[in-house]
Chain A
Amino acid sequence: MADHKELTTTPSTDSSQRPVAPAVDIFEDAGGITLLADMPGVSRDRLEVHLDGDNLSIEGRVELDAPAQMRPLWAEVSVPRFRRTFTLSRELDAARIEANLKDGVLTLRVPKQAHAQPRRIDVRAA
């Protein structure tokens, strides 16, 4: 587990409906942080990426195109909701976050503030 992120859980009265934390990959390069989250069954209009101060939360509802008369025989995915919250650090530019959802994988790109990006300082000849 990385010290960079913090998983917060909100107490819920109905424990069976507590959202599941999606599995994530997080990596950082010189320009910023990339986060990938597995959210199968979540379509674009059921996904919410929310930014509140330093808190970045991702939340999605699973929707299956299941026939109405279907009854379950076996369910490994029993909670139709994903949620996970991360704490951003100051050098990240929350205003320029880019989100992309494809085939149930959410990709978030959080760029670093311009001043936090590594720079090469030109040395001018005198």
Chain B
Amino acid sequence: MIDTMLSRPQSLFDQLESMQRLLARSFGDGAPGGIRAVGYGAFPEINVGRTPTSVEVFAFAPGIDASSLDVTIERNVLKIAGARAASNAGRDAQVQLYANERPQGRFSRAVSLPDDVDPLKVEAKYRDGVLRVSIALSAAAQPQRIAVN
């Protein structure tokens, strides 16, 4: 199931994009892609999927206290906000820093949801550093079985 979640149709543009992302990671120059995309390196990274009954949003936000995550839905926009403490907080002058790539501090990301979701039926879970938000589709958008008399 993870494979279907994470795979995208492979095209030349996808390969170009992954190259850009690789370059961006090396040189720190963000290269925006789609309309909802933010410059590469946005935190947390987000995947969105759809099932017949729900929309699933996965936010890759490792190392966060789940209770400090702020998840809101307003006018079909899902917002995920929180803060991540610096790993070396309180370090003294004796500590030598070699790499500091992990994002820290406050973050906030928004995802626009499809129109047919029911914003009152939402579940959020945080596991292994991934926040999963499931938003049920509105009853009218769910597949229905019609009884034949």
Docked complex: A71-85 residues within 8 A CB-CB of B: 71-80
Count of A-B residue pairs with CB < 8 Å: 164
Q: With A and B bound together, what is the CA distance between A74 and B35 in angstroms? A: 11
Counting chain B CB atoms within 10 Å of each CB, the highest count among A24, A28, A66 belongs to A66
By the criterion of a CB under 8 Å from any partner CB, how many residues of chain A are at the interface? 46
State whether B62 touches A105 (Cβ < 8 A): yes
Given A36-B87, A74-B46, A4 and B98 touching (CB < 8 A)? yes
Query: A95 an interface residue at 8 Å Cβ cutoff?
Result: no
Contacts of B117 in A (CB 8 A): none
Given pairs A41-B129, A103-B126, A103-B129, 17 additional interface contacts (CB within 8 A): A26-B97, A27-B87, A27-B88, A28-B98, A63-B128, A64-B1, A67-B56, A70-B51, A71-B49, A71-B51, A73-B50, A76-B46, A77-B45, A77-B58, A79-B6, A102-B63, A103-B128
Query: What is the distance, in angstroms, from B87's C-beta to the closest C-beta of chain A?
Result: 5
Known: A21-B25, A27-B91, A70-B5. A39 touches B62 (CB 8 A): yes
* Contact between B129 and A64, CB atoms less than 8 A apart: no
Residues of B within 8 A of A67 (CB): 1, 51, 54, 56
Measured in the bound complex, the distance between the Cα atoms of B143 and A12 in whole Å is 42
Complexed CA–CA distance, A58 and B90 (Å)? 27
Say whether B95 contacts A76, CB under 8 Å: no
B87: chain A residues at CB < 8 Å are: 25, 27, 36
User: Are A36 and B102 in contact (CB-based, < 8 A)?
Assistant: yes
Residue of A nearest to B91 (CB): A27
Are A70 and B50 in contact, with the CB atoms below 8 A?
A: yes
Counting CB contacts under 8 A, is B7 at the interface?
yes
